[in-house]
Amino acid sequence: MAIPASNPSTGPAPSLALRSAGNVTFLCPDKDWMSTLGSGSKLPVTVTVGLGAPWREMPCPLCRAPLKTAKVGFAHFIKKHQARKVNWFCLKCNSSKPGLLSAACHAAKCGTGTRVRPTAIHSYVCGTCSSSFSTKRGLSMHAKKHGSAGCVPRLVEPDENPNSGFEGLFSPLPPPKDKVGPRPVGSLKSCLERTIRDGEIPPGGLHPLRSSPALVNRTLSGYIKQMRRSNKIYGRKPWKPRGFGVARVKTRCSFRTIQNLYTSNMAAAASLILDGKEATSCNIPLRAIETAYSEIWEKDDRYMELGVFGALPEADNEPLLMAVTPNEVMSALRGSKGKSAPGPDGIRKPHLLRWDKDGKLLASLYNTILYNSKLPKLLKNSRTTLVPKSPNQAELKVVDNWRPITLSSSILRLFSKILCARLSEACPTHPSQKGFTRGVGCSTNLMLLDGVIRRAVRQKETLAVVFIDLARAFDSVSHKLIREVLARRKVDSGICDLISDAYSQTSSRVVTKRGRTRAIQLKVGVKQGDPMSPLLFNLCLDPLLTFLDLRGSGYTLSGQRITALAYADDLVLLSGSWAGMAVNLKILERFLELTGLDVKIKKCGGFLLRTSNRNTTVNHCADWMIHSSPIPWIGETQSYRYLGVEVSPKRGILPSDPLKEILPLLRKISKAPLKPTQKVKMLITYGIPRVVYGADMSLVGTAVLRKVDREIRNAVKAWLHLSPSTADGLFYSSRVDGGLGLPRLEKQIAISQVKRWCRTMQANDAKCKVLAPALLPKVEIAKRWKVATGVEAEGNLQASLATTDPAVIGKRWRVSEFERWCGLRCQGRGLATFARDPISNHWLGVPWGLHESDYILALQLRSSTVRTLTTLSRGRRMNTTCRACGRGWEGIIHVVSQCRAFKKNRMANHNNICRLLSIIGRALGWEVTREKRITCPLWGTAVPDLILTKNGRGLVVDVAVCYEAKPGTLRRRAEFKVNKYDKFSRPICNTLGLSGVKTFGFVMGARGKWHAGNAEVLNEMGLPRSRKKALAKLFTRALEQYWKRNWRGVYASSVERALF
């Protein structure tokens, strides 16, 4: 920047504060270069000296030597101060000249009328020359007219002093207001003493009021041994630290390898296929791992005190002052993951469920721990596994690129889950903290940040944003800080003691591919993998967020001040000026010093938006500092990755490219040695979710999402060998209606966005609720509303968002897809019969018992896209006579109900159903007679398929398989069967010696439709209720399998495999 020299009348110029219109100007990109320069020193090579004409006698601004003439001044700066370069300029018009003679001659005849500016120092000083102005407007006009191409003009405002504006910043805060309402009386111990009764203690359980910590430890050891004895029932062995080497796949792409991996661990198979890598284990030398984590966990605690950050709101201890109930234990246990990794003791969720079926033993154990405020020693040991942060193998050679996941015993994790739920209710975190909390989560922070940036650019406002990256935040938080935060919030002393004891004398062994380390003491940090760790970390950041709200300088909008956005350890600071951000950073710096936390300055980033000459400039200001280190700037063309999206200084959240992301995933899944149904499931479970988050948060347009949906449909059609003309309803209808249930991004992302905006407008957070109307993207709301609801936006959409229940938005979009599918003339025929039928459609989601070819043919039958001549001739004039029998048109209805070539196959399907019913009847004790001829003089002869007799009772069952063209087809067919054979009830009773007989029609649809009336037949046979649904599915699968075999057999011989 430019630093003008002083005038003789102003005295010495020891610092940068003196700026005047003198003969000498210093040009340097570093504004603080004079602060390190002593009297008579050599000028830095980055400084250029400018001498003005006409010359006026003055002292040297650096050494105070008299400079009588321009020549003397030139020689003085060259010899005395060793200036790298000296330029000449006219004091009247500020034009540059090549030398002294040219400058002197020009100044003598300069007729611009521009007078030499007075020596008064105004508030706004140009950063390129010596000019100063009383208004910001004058400075911006000057910068536009006289900006130098060799030096970028920087608007230096008077508040950009890194050492000013902090007076009284850290003075004590007033005590927080007491909460309204009665406070709970007593402590946790007194509450347990009042509520626990001797008769409630289960056999073998601990008595919470009479069990010492030593007794608890011995009893818990016995509990764990009992749980391990039941291990054989589950077919698992307890986890043991042996066999650290991971078996390397020899043939990575072999079908057997992928199939075995898919069956045992679909997530690992997806990682191998989509990312091209197996489950990565840390291969860093064990000694290096042990040394690194010893330095992290066993380092000295640098925590000092909270100091001025200690003014925190009080907790409501009422949720904490109660005993743990068995129902609470079972609810938490059933809600936990069944396949979660065990701790060092090898205990998993199935062990706990089998050992304590009603939760009474665990409830007694947890109440004893609460009463003693001591954690058993057996639960203080843990193991740590390392999870890679990056897919880059070169980066994984560094310990910092591995995330430690510390797992304690499942018994402790279950207790932590219960205690965390109570503590989060008693001690809610700061409203700005959205990490690991119930609600919309990171989407709120992204919405606020994107809205603020776009508004600042649109309204020409000043906005300062800094992204903070805390260095190993979870691993370096102080245990003393946790205890003091809980104490300042007046959490019950028993809970404080218990949490402190849980991290006292705690150790963990890091398990890697090369072995395991020694037991490393956890002197600092919380355990990533423990349910309560995120809450404890959030509570430790609350003092900073609270102080920023009270003393920080934020960005003001709609009467609300936004100072910080937090998502766990991802912190964003905001302000409305450069000086305001300097204050916020000073607060952060002080907090880090007191608590022992630190930042990764290289991973931080910031930008300043400021309006200059009606244009928004980026980063035209001095650097911000944290611990004397400058924060890296995010340039106008750069972006910063925050919560999985890219944030630009002038454009906000940058739109992702889901089409570019999905195409490589589709290619990889297509080439993978997977079965067609496995490819579809992997796409739905692991492929599509990779692109949904970015497309959702960055508001990708519906046109792009429509292209993504088209690519997904084409890939699925190719995998399942479906016709390109297959209707979209097959893919997007729900499985209970007969579709595949694929996500439609065009619809589902819009629905997700509108639901999120509704929840934002109706949020409990008052600040978020007030800010939402000003920050929500109004144009995008109208577009997404139409896509999500199917109706045009009318009236005040924000009012609609504030009153609409998010649960009803987009609830029927799959139903609409199914109705549109049913309305198709060809492919929609007969589909209405499958609506809301989980039995007939169960095979779509779980194709167990069906070969892949069976599944594909069943889909073709369901969508009426089997390669018959009627399907192949669509849109063309050609002969559609059946190629198998030569009679009738070759359509799906003709083939399954009329074609003579298929008559034997239809009879085989019919007989197979009769055979299954016979097996079921005999298993239930019935005597089964098949196709017995019954003669009646009045009605003639009848041959029912099955007659079941038992204890003088009889059941007449006649089986039929027909094409389900309409919803009432099967019902009318069953009624026809009943009416036909009900006339022969008396002859049947006389022939078989029965006291009574009931007649039923057992009807199945040709495409697998299960008639609801069939359940009455199974009920009369005495089939248990638990088996009815399973047998109904069995009949459906059997029909699908027979169709495949019979269909292919007939056409292979009749049409020379033309269709297959």
At 292, phi and psi to the nearest 5?
Answer: -65, -45
What's the first-to-final CA gap in the chain, in angstroms? Answer: 79
Helix (H) or strand (E) holding 709: helix 702-719
**For position 237, what pLDDT does the model report?**
44
Closest Cα partner for 153 from 621, 633, 625? 621
Give the span between the Cα atoms of 782 and 805, in whole angstroms: 17
**For position 228, what pLDDT does the model report?**
86
Helix axes 778-789 and 745-761, enclosed angle (nearest 10): 120
Give the span between the Cα atoms of 418 and 322, in whole angstroms: 12
Q: What is the CA radius of gyration of the chain?
A: 39
Give the span between the Cα atoms of 980 and 1001, in whole angstroms: 10
**For position 720, what pLDDT does the model report?**
96
Contact 199, 364 (CB under 8 A): no
Which residue in the block uniquely carries the two structure tokens 């409830």? 363
Long-range pairs of 101-105 with CB within 8 A, sequence gap ≥ 24: 103/51, 103/52, 103/53, 104/53, 104/54, 104/70
Supply 22's token pair.
Answer: 């003198």
Closest Cα partner for 876 from 729, 1050, 725? 725
Give the span between the Cα atoms of 1032 and 599, in whole angstroms: 62
Q: How far is CA 359 from CA 320, 415, 503, 511, in A?
A: 19, 12, 26, 32
Which residue in the block uniquely carries the two structure tokens 């009830």? 985
Give the span between the Cα atoms of 218 and 90, in whole angstroms: 92
Closest Cα partner for 324 from 260, 419, 229, 221? 419
Contact 165, 159 (CB under 8 A): yes
Contact 61, 38 (CB under 8 A): no
Neighbours of 405 (CB within 10 A): 15
**For position 365, what pLDDT does the model report?**
97
Domains in the chain, please, with CATH? 2-156 (no CATH), 191-237+283-430+476-528 (no CATH), 658-819+834-844 (no CATH), 902-1054 (3.40.1350)
Q: Where are the beta strands (DSSP E) in 29-176?
A: 48-53, 58-59, 66-67, 85-90, 96-97, 124-126, 132-133, 155-156
User: Omega of the bond prior to 158 within 30 degrees of 0, cis?
Assistant: no
Residue 998's beta-bridge partner residues? 955
**For position 1055, what pLDDT does the model report?**
40
User: In sequence order, what are the residues at sequence separation of 6 or more whose Cβ sits closer than 8 angstroms to the Cβ of residue 86?
Assistant: 48, 49, 50, 51, 74, 77, 78
Supply 660's token pair.
Answer: 């570019």
Q: 10-residue block means of pLDDT along the chain (1060 residues)?
A: 38 35 74 64 79 82 81 84 82 80 79 45 58 73 54 48 69 67 70 90 93 94 88 44 40 73 90 79 89 93 92 92 95 86 91 93 96 95 90 84 92 96 94 82 91 94 96 93 95 95 94 91 93 95 95 92 94 95 95 95 95 86 92 95 95 96 96 95 96 95 96 97 95 96 96 94 87 90 91 85 92 95 92 94 87 90 88 81 86 85 86 94 95 92 96 96 92 95 94 94 93 94 88 82 56 40
Give the span between the Cα atoms of 731 and 750, in whole angstroms: 19
b/e map of 69-81 (b: 16 or more CB within 10 Å)? ebeebbebbeebb
User: In sequence order, what are the residues at sequence separation of 6 or more whose Cβ sits closer than 8 angstroms to the Cβ of residue 583?
Assistant: 165, 166, 169, 551, 552, 553, 575
User: In sequence order, what are the residues at sequence separation of 6 or more whose Cβ sits closer than 8 angstroms to the Cβ of residue 976?
Assistant: 1001
Cα dihedral 856, 858, 863, 866 in deg (nearest 10): 70
Q: 2 — alpha (psi -120 to 50), left (phi > 0) or beta?
A: beta
Long-range pairs of 76-83 with CB within 8 A, sequence gap ≥ 24: 77/43, 77/49, 77/51, 80/40, 81/40, 81/41, 81/42, 81/43, 81/49, 82/42, 82/43, 83/43, 83/47, 83/48, 83/49
Range list of H helices, 392-478: 410-426, 442-459, 473-476
Which residue in the block uniquely carries the two structure tokens 């349910």? 531
Contact 613, 144 (CB under 8 A): yes
**For position 295, what pLDDT does the model report?**
93
Give the span between the Cα atoms of 942 and 956, in whole angstroms: 11
Supply 511's token pair.
Answer: 């398990």
pTM of the model: 0.80
b/e map of 530-553 (b: 16 or more CB within 10 Å)? bbbbbbbbbbbbbbbbbbbbebbb
Contact 452, 276 (CB under 8 A): no
At 886, phi and psi to the nearest 5?
Answer: 80, 5
Give the span between the Cα atoms of 647 and 657, in whole angstroms: 14
Neighbours of 781 (CB within 10 A): 18
Contact 1044, 853 (CB under 8 A): yes
Helix (H) or strand (E) holding 441: none
